[in-house]
Amino acid sequence: MRDSFFQPCTVANLQLPTRFVMSAMQDRRPEDLLPSTELAQHYADRIAGGIGLIVTQGTTMDHPTSVSPYARLYPPAYDAWRRCAETVRERGGQIAMQLWHESAMRPGGFSPSGLAFSGATTGEALSTTQIEELIEVYAASAARAKALGFSGVELHGGHGYLLGLFASGTSNKRTDEWGGDTVEARMRFPLAVTRAVRKAVGPDFPILYRISQPSPVTAPKIFRNPGELATNAGALVAAGVDMLDVLAPRFWEPEFEGEDLGLNAWLKRCTGAPVISGGSIGLSHDLMSVLTGGKAFSTAHEGFAELERRFDRGDFDLIALGRPILVDPEFLVKIRAGRFDALKQTYEKDDISSEARTARLAKARQAAPASG
């Protein structure tokens, strides 16, 4: 891989040692909702291995509708999160906290209309009061992340989580001001959140927005054509988003018919904003190719060659890696040296039981203090 990817750069007010990003991954760290010293070291190891920017796993905000068995931004965790941020910055990297509302992805969760991306009923519809509260919770959480020493925040707007569910016509059936027949109407809540976060953190603190389209096996696309994408992504940037974190199943596949442009390249063309590109980078096979029979690269080497070609034509600015660096912190060191035969080919098995997840969620609910 070319050395320029490993050189310092400045993107969206972030001074980065390399162009590589550790994508947000729910790897069930930390235990009991508190970031451990092991998690801080986990992040530090990835910086040492060539990552420039860490995006934390989705961090649950402190609101009654936003309960999860994963990491949480609440008072008992503040010092531990501060330690994570300090550790990454001391190693020369940058770190953004991903603010996350699991919504209808968790059975019984709260969503715009009580529906998942597929349109299936999975939980409860948010009240108008709860929606207004959540806008303020996003803003307060972003301000807290800034105070704890994080380099930026990322709003999770994809994958069937809360912001993405508001944008989708299959999951948002509201007839009030927070819904509507057009994607522009359904984007009012994500835009309100973005504006509130920008006001809370000031003009210079980076805001990232994770954006994706639903999987073709789960729901129709939110943005059905380049025009819809341009209008709504442009509105996000105008509202205060500095960088778009794009995750598609495969970074090389066209998003719309007629041009060889992935979602990453379309967003770059539509907005001019910096773009992080992810989607099976560094993998010879990906989950969606198994499910749908889509094309996958036969080797990691072949995939990186296509990545370089698309970077050269200006499709994106930063490169997100997930599973490869989760299991192997030296993945990039090996890639840079051309040691493709030394890459780890298997992933550690996650053997946490459903009973353990249920117990963790119950503990989270019991431990959750009042917001404030």
Dist CA 98 CA 312 (whole Å): 28
Could you tell me which of 169, 76, 61, 145 has the C-alpha nearest to residue 110?
61
Strands in 219-304 per DSSP E: 243-247, 275-278
Residue 161 is a catalytic residue: yes
- Using DSSP's 3-state secondary structure scheme, residue 139 falls into helix
Of the candidates 11, 6, 98, 97, the one whose C-alpha atom is nearest the C-alpha of residue 49 is 6
Question: What whole-number distance in Å separates Cα of residue 79 and Cα of residue 368?
Answer: 17
Q: Which of 70, 74, 161, 209 is catalytic?
A: 161
| Separation between Cα atoms, residue 127 and residue 133, nearest integer Å | 10
Quick one: angle between helices 78-90 and 37-48, nearest 10? 20
To the nearest 10°, report the CA torsion of 151, 231, 270, 59: 20
- Computed on alpha carbons and rounded to an integer, the radius of gyration of the chain in Å comes to 19
Give the span between the Cα atoms of 18 and 262, in whole angstroms.
23
Residues facing residue 72 across a β-bridge: 60
Decide if 336 contacts 343 (C-beta within 8 A): no
Note the residue count of the chain: 372
3-state DSSP assignment of residue 210 = strand
Active site residues: 161
